[in-house]
């Protein structure tokens, strides 16, 4: 595409939403149903402990799509500011930490954001992510060998290419982003099911605009997560679309690529871009999301979680790392979310001293954490990343999990 042929008119990204479609509506309704099941899993304390595990997992997969494979144990260390002495590993750790922090902060930010389709919010995501990004990852090399700096939160000033797609002209980005915000505004799409379909469609359209010099993929996925929260399909943070997109990375890229295509003929829809491929993208996205919610629902079946806790404690006992009565403490902690320290004797059936030691071992292993510095009488359940393969298997890829269990 030559300079003159760049997209300059926002109407060139129409349609923003596919026309009424029963398949899409059924998928959106199914996603709503599954995600609301997740919102009622366990109790609020256990749920927030799981969210603390899902956030780094989400980050793991979103960076993996970018080709950055950071070992989950390295992410766990990075969150404690414990960095590798190997420079390359440290860069990945800093990047993961930046991603986890913005992912978390985004949820607080949403309490004050009225419309996440607004550019201010999207650029905030990029800014919060990139200000903490190592300098080495803020440099982009163009095809002609020029080095450009990625400025946190700033729109690109040069043209970009992603796959076979060339994003709209840099000087027209404002117009495209305004059109994007207005087109997906609640008064334009008032129906809640259509708004869920818009979560899928807007994912492609924002990636298609490609507003930043780099970091678009991860910011678009964070943005999609934010929209999922406002449309109440995020299962209170208990599932991650990036896990699904990373597992089906090839299909994700080809669905994005197809949806970039212009409409072929008058039967191809009502806008400039192909509606048929936008529908296919939305189907791909919603099916991926549904798969992820179903996976998480099955992972959180209480009986199965308790059976895994039993096995986990057995392994830890053999290793000499926990006492066998820890099992009852963990079971009750998961089912209730928080325990009073004074309850340990009753739960373990042991003397005060032994019960305290059992609890302290669990605190050392970070399976229990003190509620707060003031409220030291209560402890809450916690799920360190390193034990995820035992307690919540398959969150990470199989080969990676194998290296976490040594």
Ligand X SMILES: Nc1ncnc2c1ncn2[C@@H]1O[C@H](COP(=O)(O)OP(=O)(O)OP(=O)(O)O)[C@@H](O)[C@H]1O
Provide, rounded to whole angstroms, the least separation between the CB of residue 278 and ligand X: 12
Give whichever of 65 and 169 is closer to Mg ion, judged by the CB atom.
65
Place of tokens 């440290």: 90
Provide, rounded to whole angstroms, the least separation between the CB of residue 35 and Mg ion: 29
Give whichever of 63 and 240 is closer to Mg ion, judged by the CB atom.
63
Grouping H, G, I as helix, E, B as strand and the rest as coil, residue 293 is helix
Task: List the single partner that 65 binds among ligand X, Mg ion, none, CB under 5 to 8 Å by kind.
Answer: ligand X
Give whichever of 214 and 331 is closer to Mg ion, judged by the CB atom.
214
> How many Å apart are CA 325 and CA 322, to the nearest integer?
8
Give whichever of 65 and 297 is closer to Mg ion, judged by the CB atom.
65
Task: List the single partner that 260 binds among Mg ion, ligand X, none, CB under 5 to 8 Å by kind.
Answer: ligand X
Going by C-alpha positions, the residue among 84, 95, 24, 91 that lies closest to residue 59 is 95
Going by C-alpha positions, the residue among 201, 210, 200, 230 that lies closest to residue 106 is 230
Reading phi first (left if > 0) and then psi (alpha if -120 to 50, else beta), residue 23 is in alpha
What number of other Cβ atoms are within 10 A of residue 299's Cβ? 19
Task: List the single partner that 275 binds among ligand X, Mg ion, none, CB under 5 to 8 Å by kind.
Answer: none
Task: List the single partner that 71 binds among ligand X, Mg ion, none, CB under 5 to 8 Å by kind.
Answer: none
Q: Residue 154, interface with ligand X (CB under 6 A)?
A: no
Going by C-alpha positions, the residue among 235, 392, 385, 377 that lies closest to residue 301 is 392
Provide, rounded to whole angstroms, the least separation between the CB of residue 241 and ligand X: 11
Place of tokens 């970091």: 215
For the chain, what is the total number of helices (H) and then of strands (E)?
A: 17, 7
> How many Å apart are CA 205 and CA 296, to the nearest integer?
28
Provide, rounded to whole angstroms, the least separation between the CB of residue 280 and ligand X: 13
User: 368: which strand partners?
Assistant: 381
Provide, rounded to whole angstroms, the least separation between the CB of residue 393 and ligand X: 26
* 219 contacts 129 by C-beta, under 8 angstroms: yes
Angle at 216 between CA 214 and CA 218, to 5 degrees: 110
Provide, rounded to whole angstroms, the least separation between the CB of residue 99 and ligand X: 10
Give whichever of 168 and 217 is closer to ligand X, judged by the CB atom.
217
Task: List the single partner that 207 binds among ligand X, Mg ion, none, CB under 5 to 8 Å by kind.
Answer: ligand X
Going by C-alpha positions, the residue among 216, 246, 242 that lies closest to residue 228 is 242
Pick the binder of ligand X from 165, 232, 336, 357 (CB under 6 A). Answer: 165
Count of positions on this chain that bind ligand X (CB under 6 A): 17
Provide, rounded to whole angstroms, the least separation between the CB of residue 14 and ligand X: 16
Site string for ligand X, 185-224 (x = CB under 6 A): ----------------------xx-----xxxxx-x----
Structure tokens belonging to residue 398: 């199989």
What number of other Cβ atoms are within 10 A of residue 307's Cβ? 11
Pick the binder of ligand X from 260, 275, 323, 325 (CB under 6 A). Answer: 260
Give whichever of 116 and 217 is closer to ligand X, judged by the CB atom.
217
**Binding region for ligand X (CB under 6 A):** 65-66, 162-163, 165, 207-208, 214-218, 220, 253, 256-257, 260
């Amino acid at each position: 595409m030559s300079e003159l042929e760049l997209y300059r008119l926002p109407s060139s990204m129409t349609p923003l939403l596919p026309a009424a479609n029963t398949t899409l509506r059924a998928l959106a309704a199914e996603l709503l149903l599954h995600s609301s099941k997740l919102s009622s899993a366990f109790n609020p304390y256990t749920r927030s402990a799981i969210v603390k595990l899902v956030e780094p997992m989400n980050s793991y997969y979103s960076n993996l799509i970018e080709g950055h494979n950071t070992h989950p144990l390295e992410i766990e260390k990075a969150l404690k500011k414990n960095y590798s002495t190997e420079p390359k590993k440290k860069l990945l750790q800093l990047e993961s930490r930046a991603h986890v922090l913005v992912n978390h902060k985004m949820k607080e930010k949403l309490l004050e954001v009225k419309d996440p389709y607004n550019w201010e919010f999207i650029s905030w995501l990029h800014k919060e992510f990139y200000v903490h990004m190592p300098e080495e990852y803020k440099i982009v090399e163009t095809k002609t060998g020029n080095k450009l700096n990625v400025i946190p939160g700033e729109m690109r000033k040069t043209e970009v290419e992603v796959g076979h797609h060339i994003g709209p002209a840099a000087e027209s980005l404002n117009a495209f982003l305004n059109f994007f915000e207005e087109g997906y505004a609640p008064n334009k799409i008032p129906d809640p099911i259509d708004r869920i379909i818009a979560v899928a469609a807007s994912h492609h359209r924002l990636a298609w605009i490609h507003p930043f010099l780099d970091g678009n993929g991860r910011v678009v996925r964070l943005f999609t997560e934010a929209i999922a929260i406002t449309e109440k399909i995020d299962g209170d943070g208990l599932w991650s679309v990036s896990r699904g997109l990373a597992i089906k990375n090839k299909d994700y890229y080809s669905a994005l690529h197809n949806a970039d295509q212009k409409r072929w003929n008058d039967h191809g829809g009502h806008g400039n871009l192909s509606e048929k491929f936008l529908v296919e993208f939305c189907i791909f996205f919603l099916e991926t999301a549904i798969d992820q919610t179903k996976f998480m629902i099955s992972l959180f079946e209480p009986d199965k979680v308790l059976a895994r806790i039993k096995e986990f404690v057995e392994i830890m006992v053999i290793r000499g790392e926990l006492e066998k009565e820890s099992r009852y403490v963990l079971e009750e902690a998961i089912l209730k979310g928080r325990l009073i320290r004074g309850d340990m004797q009753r739960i373990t059936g042991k003397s005060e001293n032994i019960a305290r030691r059992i609890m302290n071992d669990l605190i050392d292993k970070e399976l229990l954490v003190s509620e707060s510095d003031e409220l030291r009488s209560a402890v809450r359940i916690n799920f360190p990343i390193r034990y995820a393969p035992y307690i919540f298997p398959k969150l990470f890829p199989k080969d990676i999990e194998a290296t976490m269990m040594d």
